[in-house]
Structure 1
Amino acid sequence: METVLKERLGPTLEAAARSPFYAARGVPAGRDELAAYPLTTKQDLRDAYPFGLLAVDRAELATYHESSGSSGVPTASYYTPADWEDLVERYARKHVGIRPDDLFLVRTPYALMITGHLAHAAARSRGATVVPADNRSLAMPYAKVVRVLHDLGVTLTWSLATDTLIWAAAARLKGLRPEKDFPALRALFVGGDPLGPAKKKRIAEIWAAPVVEEYGATETGSLAGECPYGKLHLWADRALFEVHDPVTGQTTPTGRGQLVVTPLYREAMPLLRYNLEDAVEVSTPGCPCGWELPVVRVLGRSAWTVRAGAAALSQGDVEDLVFGLPAEYGVMFWRARASAGSLLVQIEVPSPYAGRAARELRQALGDAYGIETVVEPLPPGTLVPSRLLTTEPEVMKPRGLFGEGEDWNKALEYY
């Protein structure tokens, strides 16, 4: 990694100097100066919208993207064809390889986000057949996802981790068993939301298939991938990573805080010490895989971290305990709300296990964080309504002419 850093840091700083944003701020001369350089923030990217970070002629761009805006106003990102070669190579670094005989279901948004386009391009680079299922689209409801998974014999999927649980619920409502009735499924590739070991294990049990985690962002592409031993490794041969403590302002190579990244193979939009504002834990344990790369655990957006009493909780903290409940309880969906002195957690759980699950989760949260907790067990279908899992909304093309007896109030309802 040191060799890569020495080779790539110079060109990275030179590219940054061609960006209006960094040209105005000033660019560090080398690694020592970079260590003291101000962090690039999401607000900086918003202020530079749309092309204030562009470091090449606009004619050299291949694609333009915007983030999901899950923690604020979306940010713009752009890539050259050479940038895309790097993006695709990093995404395809799965220990469960993408093969020409795979049917790869891409169930993340296309549109302006990069995630669907990236998985699509990586799958095609390996010769796989892509099933472009999209997400957040009326044209591809959950019932249709389940049908496609089953009828086509999909072998690989790419989605949010939580989405795989929703598919399972939809499949069961259709009379299908996720662990039995999808025998072609080789693996579920997931990313985009927190995935602790308990949740990951539960998803793998439900689908009887390995869960392979990916971590990245629209602004950067893939930043980490999972090795055969289940560790999520940062691609430190492609980027420089740091951990920022927002309280002390210090940055260190490892520890718990916000992930800061300096991509080393980026032409169109160089980023210097970009703070993703994701809450992470980074460590350097020895791993039998031999990759010799740092290990990261993604805890969620820092904006999603809340205080309950004296405890600061991330989504991952709570989710670990929710999915630590016995599998037989059938808990897949939950939500929580923190107040000054307590935490309210709601879980969907079948009635035979409701009281037991509530008591055990309340005890676990109290033991782990010393907070007053109220756990409300709810019937299945409360947090994720059954109608969401079974209906297929009518999606019309633009139409103005209707026959007698037809509902012409649908004339403009083609969304």
Structure 2
Amino acid sequence: MTTITSRLPQLGDWRDTSELTAIQDAQLGRTLEWARRSPFYRSRLAGSIRTRADLAALPLTTKQDLRDAYPFGMLAVGRAELATYHESSGTAGTPTPSYYTADDWIDLAERYARKWVGISAEDIFLVRTPYALMITGHLAHAAARLHGATVVPGDNRSLAMPYSRVVRVLRDLGVTLTWSMPTETLLWAAAARAAGHRPGADFPGLRALFVGGEPLSPARRRRISAIWGVPVVEEYGSTETGSLAGECPQGQLHLWSDRAIFEVYQPQTGKITPTGAGELVVTPLFREAMPLLRYNLGDNVEVRADGCECGWALPTIRVLGRAAFGYPVAGATVSQGRLEELVFGLPEAYEVMFWRARAEPDRLRVEFEASAAAGPAAAEALRASISAEFGVPSEVVAVPPGTLVPEHVLTGVHDVVKPRSLFGADEDWDRGLLYY
């Protein structure tokens, strides 16, 4: 295995696009050599493929390619050199595998930690994403430890960490940074209020919320920040690649183009360009265990190279995801992103956090939680904004708090038991071998 940590580029190592391209090209040859060790790429890289122009001639690597190569058909190092094995979330059928060496993990952790709100040894960092086969929880954990922070492993898929416990940990430990999906932060706020706490006042240690994993509209981001009184800092990546983009002090998401080559694929035309709108294609440059060449993530994005006042000299990206897709309603197309912007564009005084909608052929049905006092005005305001934005009939209903997110979800404490086989006469032995 070749040690890569001494060669990892750092922010400030380049001043413009040409210098950034030179950094990519200097590493690309080694990346291609690593790929030649992979059973999957061995045949694809036959001949003299050495340069960026050569790379452009290669077909895209797809998620199906990874599934077909399960479990170790993409492996480019000996199995003894692997540090971790992962599978992406949401995979139906054959898994999508990923694996990393210890050196790969240094690159992963460094990229994740590149946020304008830095991570330091003074921080107490709550990781509220899965500690499972997907990479998300492990990635934040590794980045926090790389910078000396204290990690609180608050797995959001564990019954041992209900929302009531999250609120207690946030407050009692003086948590300073968190990592979660955006929706989680709203659930914490509701759970905090259910426990008699004020999210923006009773958690003085908190200084930023790191979020990712789902599209986030500007309006919802502003609402989360207002509720907690701290910045909301976005992150974009995947289990197959690790962090791909992070937020600068100007609030822009920048692609880590010193650590990967990015392209945009337009499936309708087959055209591939460095910028524009389409599906993101990535070639990680410091991934030895499982090299990926022109890997099509399938995520809908918009990549721009307009420059940014932060001075990072990196392309910016807007992640559209499912928010870019919509459902037909009465001759119009309604997307989640645009609708979410309207919901969280309601006045803060209405305290709307949880909502759902159904796109029907002739109308849009929307429900949201609101108090009895605020509900009618909020419903009327949202109905008017839907009509103005989409021009479709809508049925907008304010439902009582606790309808969409039941109170027991916010306040309950689950009984997590250890397995056993011997029980007393009055004990429930049906739960003997189950962790719940």
The residue aligned with 2:328 is: 308
Determine the C-alpha separation between the residues in 2 that align with 1:356 and 1:330: 12
1:16 maps to what in 2?
A: 35
TM alignment of 1:162-173, pairs within 5 A? 162-173=183-194
Report the CA distance shift for 1:282/1:349 in structure 2 as closer, same or farther (over 3 A).
farther
Q: How does 1:109-258 map to 2 (within 5 A)?
A: 109-258=130-279
C-alpha separation in 2, matches of 1:313 and 1:285: 29
Give how far 1:314 is off. Answer: 4.4
Does residue 52 in structure 1 map to residue 70 in structure 2? no
Alpha-carbon distance change, 129 to 219 in structure 1, aligned in 2, over 3 angstroms: same
What runs of 5+ residues in structure 2 fail to find an aligned partner? Answer: 1-19
Partner of 1:334: 355
Q: For residue 271 of structure 1, give the secondary structure of its aligned residue in structure 2.
A: coil
Kept in 2, the 8 Å contact 1:300–1:316? The answer is no
AA at the equivalent of 1:112: L
**Change beyond 3 A, Cα 1:375–1:273:** farther
Q: Displacement of 1:336 after TM fit?
A: 2.5
Match of residue 2 from structure 1: 21
Residue deviations 1:122-150, cap 9 Å, x none?
11111111111111111111111111111
Equivalent-residue separation in structure 1 for 2:235 and 2:28 (angstroms) = 25
- Per-residue CA shift, 1:211-267, capped at 9, x if unaligned? 111111010000111111111111111111122222222222222222111111110
Contact 2:192 2:198 in 1 (8 A): yes
Aligned to 2:340: 319
In 2, the alpha carbon distance for the partners of 1:112 and 1:170 equals 28
**Aligned equivalent of 1:408:** 429
Deviation at 1:192, TM superposition (A): 0.7
TM-score, length-normalised on structure 2? 0.89
Q: Distance in 1 between matches of 2:334 and 2:76?
A: 39
Letter in 2 for 1:308: P
- Seen in structure 2, the aligned counterparts of structure 1 residues 375 and 186 have a Cα distance that, compared at 3 Å, is same
Which letter maps to 1:170?
Answer: A
Offset at residue 103 of structure 1 (A): 0.9
- Give 1:404 deviation, angstroms: 4.1
Give the aligned residue type for 2:217. G
Say which is worse superposed, 138-147 or 65-74, in terms of deviation: 65-74
Q: Displacement, 1:91?
A: 0.9
**CA deviations over 1:63-86 (Å, ceiling 9, x no partner):** 100111268754110001111110
- Tell me the TM-score normalized by structure 1: 0.94
Quote the sequence identity (%): 65
CA displacement, residues 323-369 of structure 1 (integer Å, 9 cap, x when unaligned)? 12211111111222334454333222223232333333333334334
Shift of 1:412: 2.2
Question: Could you tell me how far 1:378 is from its partner in structure 2?
Answer: 2.2
- CA–CA distance in 1 between the matches of 2:383 and 2:267? 30
Tell me the distance in 2 between the aligned counterparts of 1:161 and 1:189.
8
Q: Which amino acid aligns with 2:38?
A: S
Displacement of 1:320 in angstroms is 2.0
1:346 aligns with 367
Matched, 1:383 2:382: no
Deviates more, 1:364-373 or 1:106-115: 364-373
CA 134–306 in structure 1, closer or farther in 2 if over 3 Å, else same: same
Cα pair distance change 1:263/1:83, threshold 3 Å: same
The 5-angstrom pairing of residues 27-106 of structure 1 reads 28-69=49-90, 74-106=95-127
3-state SS of 2:293 partner:
coil
Q: Assess if the C-alpha contact under 8 Å between 1:194 and 1:315 holds in 2.
A: no
Letter in 2 for 1:205: A
- Read off the aligned partner of 1:17 and give its amino acid letter: R
**8 Å contact kept, 1:308–1:371:** no
- How far off its partner does 1:33 sit? 3.3
Q: 1 CA distance for matches of 2:67 and 2:238?
A: 15
SS in 1 for 2:416: coil
Secondary structure at the aligned position of 1:383 is classed as coil
Alignment-derived partner of residue 306 in structure 2: 285
Q: Pick closer, same or farther for the CA change 1:273–1:362 going to 2, 3 Å.
A: farther
Partner of 2:4: none
* Secondary structure of 2:320's aligned partner: strand
Name the count of aligned residue pairs.
414
Task: Tell me how far apart the structure 2 counterparts of residues 40 and 311 of structure 1 sit (CA, whole Å).
Answer: 35
Counterpart of 1:344, as a letter, is R
Partner amino acid, structure 2, of 1:354: G
Moved more, 125-134 or 370-379: 370-379
- The answer to whether the 8 A contact 1:107-1:159 is kept is yes
The one-letter code of the counterpart of 1:69 is G
Shift of 1:313: 5.0
2:235 and 2:93 mapped to 1: Cα distance? 22
CA RMSD, 1 decimal? 2.0
